[in-house]
Structure 1
Amino acid sequence: MKNVGKVTTLFISVQGSSTRIEKELFNLDPKGIIEDKYYDTNINRSVLLTSEASYALASKHNITFPFGSLGENILMDYNPYHLIPGDKLRIGEAILEISQNCTMCDHLSKIDENLPTLLKDDRGIFAKVIEGGMIKKGDEITLLS
């Protein structure tokens, strides 16, 4: 077990809105983030983890956009893109298991036509909830495996 970083910002999606809502904390159970509109839709895609490094990479190429634009639920100062399915993280009270890399979606090209190519391997990574609990801004991220 090793502390690898911290949660910097949390976001959820809500019914009827295309913008992400920033939260101070949220609660998770094995079906996902309880307040999120995608709760209980696909447990392998329950939580999208994104690194601040993705925003920094875009910024180096003169593409800037607000946090939350990549669709993340948890923005962190740790880069998780080297993790593989089955790896586990403790974030706050919850334990998440990496399930799959995030696929590119059309909305990224609306931000900038070069963004999908630029962030091909650096957009985010999905996790499923193994053990529920509260996650809040500033929580430590611990690599369990």
Structure 2
Amino acid sequence: MIYILSFLGIIIENSLPLSGVVLVVTLPFFTYLVNLKRIRSVTCIFLMALILSLQTNDFAEQFVMMAAVYYLFNFIFINMVYNKENIVFISLLQIGVYFVINYKNCTKFYLILNLIGFLIINYFYVKHMKKRNIRGQK
């Protein structure tokens, strides 16, 4: 159910007629998938890249960007756990990724909007993992 709701959120946030890019659901869901470290996660990340590329003409660029961010978060989650204590740090990393993705069109409003959204959505994913007893890494 969390996958369906997340993909619906990604589709909705990519179809909003805004002047800036909003990745409020995309990056926290991406982080959640990286933390799970399952084969199904790679398929979902491929589908996310496909959905994100619907707004642009370049699927390869979106996929390469997702692969680079996947390896970055995978490297970070070697020594860090996706839990409540690390939500602020993870959200700041996601803001850094957001800034790199949108360095040309980055405004303070969209940075603050995405940071608040990252904090809230990351909290819900961590709460879901704890409720379902899902372990991403040992």
Give me the TM-score of the superposition, normalised by structure 2: 0.30
Higher fraction of helix? 2
Q: TM-score, normalised by structure 1?
A: 0.29
